[in-house]
C-alpha cells in the first residue's frame, strides 16, 4: 500500500478510481472531462490524496482549503473541505479507507488545520453521513438530502454559513438549462455531455448556458455546481441520456 498526495497535474490521468470500476459504470463517460478539470485546478481549487496498491490507484480523497474551496458556504480560513472519497469495491473492508483517512488527517494536523468539513448525504454509497459519524464528525447543519458535518482537529467549532442561492430564469426559451460547473465529478460531467447532445434535438425550444465553477460563479449564483432546469435542480446524481431527455420533454409538456 502506498498513500501519497497528488502533486503533478499529469497524475490527474489516474484520478477518479470510482469511475474505473468493473463493470464500467455508464457515468464513466464523464471521466475524461473530470480529469481535465482536475489537472487544470490542482493546487488551486482541488487537492488530492491517493492510495495505491501494486501500481493501481484504488482510492482517493479529494479536498480543498476553505480559502479556495468551491463550496456554497462562507467559511473561515484554515479549514479543510472534503469534496469526496472512495475505495474501489474489491478493496473495501480491508482497512484502506481507514489508512487513507488517517494519513489525510495527520497531514492536516501537521499543517495546522482547524478541522474538516464535509457535505455528507443521506444517499447510501455516496458520502453517507453514517461513515463520517463513526470517525467523530458532528452534524452542525441539516438540509434536504444531507448534513453538514465537522471533525474538530485544533478548533472545537468553526464559522460556516450557507450562501444565498440565486438561479435566474430569463425567459429565453420554454426550457432554460443552466449548468454551473459540474465537471469535478464524473457523474455530473457525464450529465453535461448528455445535455450537450440532447439539447440539440429540441432546437430553439431549449436554451443552455454553461458557467465554469469559480469564486465569481459562487458569488453570482450561490452554488458551486449544479444543473438547473427552469431554475430548479432536477438532474442530480447518476442519470442516463434517456433520463436527461425525459426531464426536458416533461418540462416542455407543462
pLDDT in tens, 20-54: 886 666 678 899 999 999 999 999 999 999 999 99
Rounded distance between C-alpha atoms, residue 68 and residue 189, angstroms: 21
Are 132 and 210 within one domain? no
Higher per-residue pLDDT: 149 or 238: 149
Q: How far apart are CA 178 and CA 85, in angstroms?
A: 27
Q: How far apart are CA 104 and CA 143, in angstroms?
A: 27
CATH assignment of the domain containing 248: 3.40.30.10
Quote the longest CA-to-CA distance of the chain: 56
Asked if 246 and 150 sit in the same domain, the reply is no
Indicate the DSSP class of residue 128.
Answer: B
Give backbone dihedrals phi and psi of 78, rounded to 5 degrees, phi first.
80, 20
- CA–CA distance, 123 with 224 (Å, rounded to integer): 20
- Examine the domain organization and report whether 67 and 192 are in the same domain: no
In a domain, 64, yes or no: yes
Per the listing, cell 442530480 goes with 236
Dump pLDDT digits (tens) for 144-172: 778 999 999 999 999 999 999 999 998 88
Among residues 108, 130, 162, which one ends one of the domains?
162
Per-residue pLDDT, 165: 94
Is residue 211 over pLDDT 90? Answer: yes
How far apart are the C-alpha atoms of 141 and 163, rounded to whole Å? 13
- DSSP 3-state assignment of 98? helix
> Nine-digit cell at 186?
464524473
Domain containing 235 equals 175-252
Work out the angle at residue 74's Cα, subtended by the Cα atoms of residues 73 and 79, and round it to the nearest 5 degrees.
95
Q: What is the pLDDT of residue 25?
A: 66
126 has a pLDDT exceeding 90 = no
Domain count for the chain: 2
Q: What is the mean pLDDT of the chain?
A: 93
Amino acid at each position: 500500500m502506498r498513500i501519497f498526495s497528488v502533486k503533478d497535474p499529469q497524475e490527474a490521468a489516474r484520478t477518479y478510481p470510482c469511475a474505473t470500476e468493473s463493470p464500467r459504470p455508464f457515468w464513466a463517460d464523464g471521466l475524461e472531462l473530470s480529469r481535465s478539470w482536475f489537472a487544470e485546478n490542482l493546487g488551486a481549487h482541488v487537492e488530492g490524496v491517493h492510495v495505491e496498491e501494486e501500481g493501481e490507484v484504488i482510492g482517493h480523497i479529494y479536498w480543498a482549503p476553505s480559502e479556495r474551496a468551491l463550496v456554497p458556504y462562507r467559511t473561515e480560513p484554515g479549514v479543510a473541505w472534503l469534496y469526496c472519497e472512495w475505495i474501489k469495491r474489491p478493496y473495501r473492508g480491508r482497512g484502506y479507507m481507514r489508512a487513507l483517512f488517517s494519513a489525510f488527517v495527520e497531514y492536516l494536523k501537521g499543517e495546522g488545520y482547524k478541522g474538516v468539513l464535509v457535505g455528507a448525504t443521506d444517499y447510501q454509497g455516496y458520502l453517507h453521513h453514517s461513515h463520517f459519524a463513526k470517525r467523530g464528525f458532528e452534524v452542525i447543519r441539516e438540509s434536504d438530502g444531507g448534513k453538514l458535518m465537522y471533525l474538530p482537529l485544533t478548533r472545537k467549532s468553526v464559522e460556516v454559513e450557507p450562501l444565498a442561492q440565486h438561479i435566474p430564469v430569463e425567459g429565453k426559451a420554454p426550457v432554460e438549462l443552466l449548468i454551473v460547473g459540474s465537471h469535478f465529478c464524473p457523474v455530473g460531467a457525464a450529465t453535461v455531455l448528455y445535455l450537450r447532445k440532447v439539447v440539440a434535438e429540441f432546437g430553439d425550444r431549449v436554451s443552455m448556458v454553461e458557467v465554469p465553477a469559480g469564486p465569481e460563479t459562487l458569488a453570482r449564483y450561490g452554488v458551486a455546481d449544479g444543473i438547473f432546469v427552469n431554475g430548479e435542480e432536477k438532474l442530480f446524481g447518476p442519470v442516463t441520456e434517456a433520463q436527461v431527455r425525459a426531464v426536458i420533454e416533461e418540462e416542455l409538456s407543462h
